[in-house]
Chain A
Amino acid sequence: MKEKELMSELSSIRNLMERSAKFISLHGLSGVLAGIYALVGAYIGYRLVYQVGGGLIYRDYYVNDQEIIAKLIVVALSVLILSIITAVVLSMQKARRGHQKIWNAASKGLLLHAGIPLLTGGLLIVVLLFRGYFGIIAPACLIFYGLALVAGSHYTFNDVKWLGISEVVLGLLAAMMPGYGLLFWAGGFGILHIIYGSVMYVKYDRAK
């Protein structure tokens, strides 16, 4: 065997090990877009809560008005659904370009392992909403989302793990500073997604 052949043999083995265990069709742009949706959502939320004017980020009272809560939930869910649709569409395009299947052993593992903390967190948040613990919702969203990313990261790019850890840290900080929930929410779902999405885009998607 010639050296070139040997090298290509080794790199094909490495490629296959990576490809079989990791979902690499995740597109960096879906992170960036999800971040932008979240920032728009956070801005709408901000306008809903602070209708009375005033440019202060902090407020002394808690949001208790049922109607505002319902509107905030609709905004948050819209951001979530838009982000998921974007991620799925971009992944499908990327998979097609790379001649790969989007539904494979790695994507199943990713969904299962990220799904468990995500579903747990989602249900907990619904319970908290019904019981009126509004202050804990933003930190709980961030923490459970972060844990889900860490759990799922074994099945995709390692950057996702670091995004998850950052979300958890931000969630814990948010829990220590009640009243800044929306700001942390915008930071975690908006800014962090844009940062990590751009990093992943540059690392894996550009010029390929």
Chain B
Amino acid sequence: MLEQFDKAFESRIRLQIMSVLAANESYDFSSLKDLLEVTDGNLASHLKALEKEEYISVNKSFIGRKPNTRYEATQKGLMAFKKHLESLEKLIKQQK
């Protein structure tokens, strides 16, 4: 049972990031930071980890001189997220 849980989503913040990206076409770094109430460094490291898994894609651009980094969930990431949710639900049903 437990192997169905995605290692990448062991961290609560990473799961939260995926939730936001699953519900939105894309999301930028600072909005994500405000929403999840985490520090820059913390968020950046979790985003890096998800990027390494190819669960999210990064799009860097500039608005004026300010860097604007947007994140998007990849197909692979969305599938993994869905699977993770399904196993959570299954586990709940089993315990009932």
Mark A residues whose CB is within 8 Å of B.
Answer: 1, 3, 6-7, 9-10, 12-13, 16-21, 101, 104-105
Closest CB in chain B relative to A19 CB, distance in Å: 7
In chain A, what residue has the closest Cβ to B95? A3
Scan B63-80; emit 1 where CB is below 8 A from any A CB, else 0: 000000000000000000
Q: Find out whether the CB atom of B92 lies under 8 angstroms from the CB atom of A16.
A: no
Q: Given the complex of chains A and B, what is the CA–CA distance between A179 and B85 in angstroms?
A: 57
Q: A13-B15, A13-B16, A16-B16 in contact; A105/B92 too (CB < 8 A)? A: no
Q: A3-B95, A13-B15 in contact; A21/B89 too (CB < 8 A)? A: no
**Interchain pairs with CB closer than 8 A, number:** 48
Q: Find out whether the CB atom of A105 lies under 8 angstroms from the CB atom of B24.
A: yes
Q: Find out whether the CB atom of B23 lies under 8 angstroms from the CB atom of A17.
A: yes
Q: Find out whether the CB atom of A105 lies under 8 angstroms from the CB atom of B28.
A: yes
Give the residue of A12, A21, A101 whose beta carbon is less than 8 angstroms from that of B24. Answer: A21
The reply to whether the CB of B31 lies closer than 8 angstroms to some CB of chain A is: yes
What chain A residues lie within 8 Å of B19 (beta carbons)?
A: 13, 16-17, 20
What chain B residues lie within 8 Å of A18 (beta carbons)?
A: 23
In chain B, what residue has the closest Cβ to A108? B31
Interface size of B in residues (CB-CB distance below 8 Å): 20
What chain B residues lie within 8 Å of A17 (beta carbons)?
A: 19-20, 22-23
Q: Given the complex of chains A and B, what is the CA–CA distance between A21 and B88 in angstroms?
A: 23
Q: Find out whether the CB atom of A6 lies under 8 angstroms from the CB atom of B20.
A: no
Q: Find out whether the CB atom of B91 lies under 8 angstroms from the CB atom of A1.
A: yes
What chain A residues lie within 8 Å of B27 (beta carbons)?
A: 20, 105
User: In terms of DSSP, what is the predominant structure of the interface of chain A?
Assistant: helix
Q: A13-B16, A101-B34, A105-B28 in contact; A20/B91 too (CB < 8 A)? A: no
User: In terms of DSSP, what is the predominant structure of the interface of chain B?
Assistant: helix
What chain B residues lie within 8 Å of A10 (beta carbons)?
A: 85, 88-89, 92
Mark B residues whose CB is within 8 Å of A.
Answer: 15-16, 19-20, 22-24, 27-28, 31, 34-36, 85, 88-89, 91-92, 95-96
What chain B residues lie within 8 Å of A3 (beta carbons)?
A: 92, 95-96
Q: Find out whether the CB atom of B35 lies under 8 angstroms from the CB atom of A16.
A: yes
Q: Find out whether the CB atom of B35 lies under 8 angstroms from the CB atom of A19.
A: yes
Closest CB in chain A relative to B14 CB, distance in Å: 12
In chain A, what residue has the closest Cβ to B23? A17
Q: Find out whether the CB atom of B88 lies under 8 angstroms from the CB atom of A105.
A: no
What chain B residues lie within 8 Å of A13 (beta carbons)?
A: 15-16, 19, 85
In chain A, what residue has the closest Cβ to B94? A3
Q: Given the complex of chains A and B, what is the CA–CA distance between A104 and B35 in angstroms?
A: 9
What chain A residues lie within 8 Å of B22 (beta carbons)?
A: 17
Give 27 CB contacts A-B under 8 Å. A1-B91, A3-B96, A6-B91, A6-B92, A6-B95, A7-B92, A9-B15, A9-B88, A10-B88, A10-B89, A10-B92, A12-B16, A13-B15, A13-B19, A16-B16, A16-B19, A16-B20, A16-B23, A16-B36, A20-B19, A20-B27, A20-B35, A21-B24, A101-B34, A104-B34, A105-B24, A105-B28
